[in-house]
Amino acid sequence: MELEGRLFSHPFRKSGLRLLEGLGVGISGTVGSEYGTLGATQEPTLRAEGQQTFFTYLSGATADVTVLASGRHYRFSPQAYYFTGPLGVMAEYVSSTQDVRRGGEEARLTNTAWQLSASYVLFGGKASYEGLKPEHALNPAAGHWGAVELVGRYSGLRIDPNAFPTFADPTRSASSAESWGFGAHWYLSSNTRGAQCPGAAPLRPEATRMAQVHFLRIRGKELTTSPVHPRRAGLD
């Protein structure tokens, strides 16, 4: 059983303060109980692009050597965004606390993750949480070129230090990871589907990705990996 809730507010939307009307703040959370088994541990495995595993809890042939969820699971996530004119900024933080056990060892581990993303519309529209909608569809004869925006994101993940070495192997699993990327989107119209790069997250229906680059840096007590192209990782 799990309970979840979310509150979100636009405190200045009708205040008359134009510079703050695009500010939104919120908080969400869950609380529940999870109990894993040898066949379904209820613990996440984190992977990069190409299914390269950079963090996994210890496992084996028996429950005595396998890390299992064993009790309460709490999630807490404050978030905020701000959009004004061509500029858009979004931020989010997640804390996930889980009771675990491995044989006779028990612990309450807290893993955290965060992300900060920003976008800037070069021409053709305004930044919006609902997504950029071009003021005019692509029509070169009329001097309309849709809309173009630049985007960037930085995110990070931190594993509870108490996970090592009892619940995770420091020679095989990272203690933290950072990901950053940037790109450009070309919106031809409000209803044109764009091309999608292999392995990338789905695009908004109205955007064509002109270019996008991602990097992932993984850090561990005894593990260091050079930047690779990542798959977005989160906390389950």
Edge-first strand order for the sheet with 176-187 is 2-9, 23-35, 68-84, 87-102, 105-123, 147-158, 176-187, 207-219, 224-228
| Residue of 89, 217, 87 whose CA lies nearest to 156 | 217
Residue ranges of domains in the chain: 2-228
Above 80 in pLDDT, residue 116? yes
Rg (CA), the chain: 21
pLDDT the model gives residue 217: 79
pTM of the model: 0.80
Question: Could you say which of 2.40.160.10, 3.40.50.10490, 2.60.40.10, 3.90.180.10 is the CATH number of the domain covering 2-228?
Answer: 2.40.160.10
| Residue of 70, 76, 57, 75 whose CA lies nearest to 107 | 70
Say if CB 113 and CB 235 are below 8 A apart.
yes
pLDDT in tens, 187-230: 888 765 333 333 333 334 445 555 667 677 787 644 444 433 33
Report CA 87 to chain centroid distance, whole Å: 20
